Amino acid sequence: MQLYNTLTRHKEEFVPAGDEVTMYVCGLTVYDDMHIGHALGTITFEVLHRYLEWRGYKVKRIQNFTDVDDKIINRAQKEEISSEELSQSYIDAFFDDMAGLNVMLATEYPRATQSMDQIIAVIADLIEKGFAYESEGSVYFDVRKDKTYGELSHRSLDDMLQGTRFDPEPGKNYPADFALWKLSKDGEPAWESPWSDGRPGWHIECSAMAYEHLGKVIDIHGGGLDLVFPHHENEISQSKAFTSEDTFARFWMHNGMLRLSGEKMSKSIGNIVRVHDVLADHSSDAFRLWIYTSHYRSPLLYDQQGLDVAERAARRIRTAIVPRDATSDSTPLAAGEFEDRFIAAMDDDMNVPQAMAVVFDLVRDINRSADAGVDVVAAQDKLRELTSVLGLTLEELATEAGDLDESVIQGLLDQRAESRAQRDFAAADRIRDELQAMGVAITDSPDGTTWSRT
RNA sequence: GGCGACGUAGCCAAGUGGCCUAAGGCAGAGGUUUGCAAAACCUCCAUUCGGCGGUUCGAAUCCGCCCGUCGCCUCCA
């Protein structure tokens, strides 16, 4: 499988270093609801996980929660609850959204606050090795000690300093140095350390947790494109300093940003669409199919209509797995060619849009063959298999009809069948409209009438 | 200012030197089927890939310039 590696800016053949694929994905800072940009990134790496497993690899995927951070502290103070309560409530919400999106969970979800011993040990080691220094109760990483600093974002320290958005902190020896440990003010969450009662900087938790759960060198490190600099750059630097290895992650993968009205969807800009809101009137399949129209490294523009379009596309796939009777003796439809094409697409840097094109080609072939009476059972099984690799459920969106008494629907259907038998089509159509208004779509066929939720 | 990405049909979007007279989804047109629908199936729907030059036997794909959009440059998925 070829994967694009941000480090080398090329697609490279991916082979795990050991028996299982080790994957670390930067997760959320839990101070607010999850928005669909977070879902885009999460699903990108979840699909990679599903695909690698389907191809026979064992995968260990770790996704962290940043549950100590200035924004969490501020928000908790505003709501007059503890930081723990606040972050826990958003972690709970996160798992609700994961279930709603049919996301296969990661192997583990470590939290910064539960990895404090490990974080402090790494920082102490970095000081001992001379890569970090203490200053006024805080600890900073000395980026000038790392001659390869900038290798991921492909820029030199000089380039970075030209950015001029540096707000030099008094304790730093050098503006580009970053905090490993921060002294906490009164009333802020704090952990005991050799340097002060404080809390970890943002970057160190990922290195410490990756090391703790996956080892010194990991196969794949993932996250959003906006994390390349400084977050992942700093992770590489401090991790290499700590482990003395010449690399931290063999592959760095970054997904494109979700945009809303031209701008990146971001909590700080405030142009947010919550996962929860999208799932209120769209199936997870529709959300995924919408995402799957574009490649994971491309930016994606939020589009309400795009979700509606995807809903119809989802229905098209669901229709193709409805059981069909074979009435012909001809050879059953084989799906091997489609599977080969699916694999070829996915092996090319997870080209999910291409893989979806294959899926839709299979859908057409199933419908065509089934109409001709050909046995499509095996092909339908293959369709289910391939779509499940992409996390599709092929289940209908539960709507108000879900709360309806099915006997009521059946009663109306019986009435309509009676009307049709008497060729009173006006009455039959009235009942059909009535059902439609309830969210029930009906389909007549020679074998009778079936219904589904819309 | 520095680094980088993108611009393909009405919309979304794949394709990055010949298999492209360019996937797939949605929308649209005609047809089959149906009491009528819906769904499904068949046919059609970009001689063309932001613009202008260049390299090449050959370019949507490589190079240059221009126009437009976006990301990162210590909050960010």
Residue recorded with tokens 């929660």: A65
Query: A282-389 adopts what CATH topology?
Result: Four Helix Bundle (Hemerythrin (Met), subunit A) (1.20.120)
Widest Cα–Cα separation across chain A: 91
Q: Which of A325, A278, A336 is nearest to A302 (CA)?
A: A278
**CA A205 to CA A112: how far, in whole Å?**
6
Would you say the CATH fold of A282-389 matches that of A2-264?
no
A422 burial type by CB count under 10 A (0-12 exposed, 13-18 middle, 19+ buried): exposed
Rounded to whole angstroms, the distance from the CA of residue A9 to the C1' of nucleotide B40 is 45
Enter the tokens of residue A236.
């590489």
Nucleotide nearest to A367 (CA to C1'): B40
- Which stretches of chain A drop beneath a pLDDT of 50? 401
For the domain covering A2-264, report its CATH number. Answer: 3.40.50.620
Nucleotide nearest to A169 (CA to C1'): B74
SS3 A191: strand
Nucleotide nearest to A71 (CA to C1'): B75
Q: Determine the length of chain A.
A: 454
The pLDDT value given to residue A401: 47
The pLDDT value given to residue A446: 77
Which strand B bases fall within 7 angstroms of a protein CB?
Answer: 1-6, 11-15, 23-27, 34-42, 69-77
Is A268 within 8 Å of A63 (Cβ atoms)?
Answer: no
Q: Which residue is nearest to nucleotide B75 (CA to C1')?
A: A268
Rounded to whole angstroms, the distance from the CA of residue A333 to the C1' of nucleotide B22 is 29
Rounded to whole angstroms, the distance from the CA of residue A13 to the C1' of nucleotide B15 is 20
pLDDT, one tens digit per residue, over A389-423 is: 999 999 877 655 456 678 888 899 999 999 999 99
Rounded to whole angstroms, the distance from the CA of residue A351 to the C1' of nucleotide B60 is 19
Is A431 within 8 Å of A412 (Cβ atoms)?
Answer: yes
CA atoms within 13 A on the CB side of A242: 29
Neighbours of A148 (CB within 10 A): 11
**CA A73 to CA A81: how far, in whole Å?**
10
Enter the tokens of residue A102.
């049919």
Is A176 within 8 Å of A143 (Cβ atoms)?
Answer: yes
Nucleotide nearest to A166 (CA to C1'): B74
Beta A198-200 vs A178-183: how paired, if at all?
antiparallel
Q: Which residue is nearest to nucleotide B38 (CA to C1')?
A: A443
- Domain residues of chain A, as ranges? 2-264, 282-389, 400-453
How many angstroms from the chain centroid is the CA of residue A434?
39
Rounded to whole angstroms, the distance from the CA of residue A375 to the C1' of nucleotide B31 is 27
The pLDDT value given to residue A160: 78
Rounded to whole angstroms, the distance from the CA of residue A115 to the C1' of nucleotide B39 is 54
Rounded to whole angstroms, the distance from the CA of residue A378 to the C1' of nucleotide B14 is 28
- Is the interface score ipTM higher than 0.90? yes
Nucleotide nearest to A316 (CA to C1'): B39
Enter the tokens of residue A420.
């049709």
**CA A122 to CA A125: how far, in whole Å?**
5
Give the list of residues 6+ apart from residue A68 with CB closer than 8 angstroms, or none: A83, A87, A112, A113, A189, A199, A200
User: Taking the C-alpha atoms of A404, A408, A410 and A415 in order, what is their torsion angle to the nearest 10 degrees?
Assistant: -140
Give the list of residues 6+ apart from residue A271 with CB closer than 8 angstroms, or none: A260, A261, A263, A265
Residue recorded with tokens 């389907």: A54
Enter the tokens of residue A373.
């009476």
Rounded to whole angstroms, the distance from the CA of residue A435 to the C1' of nucleotide B7 is 46
Residue recorded with tokens 């006024």: A136
Q: Which of A32, A47, A34 is nearest to A96 (CA)?
A: A34
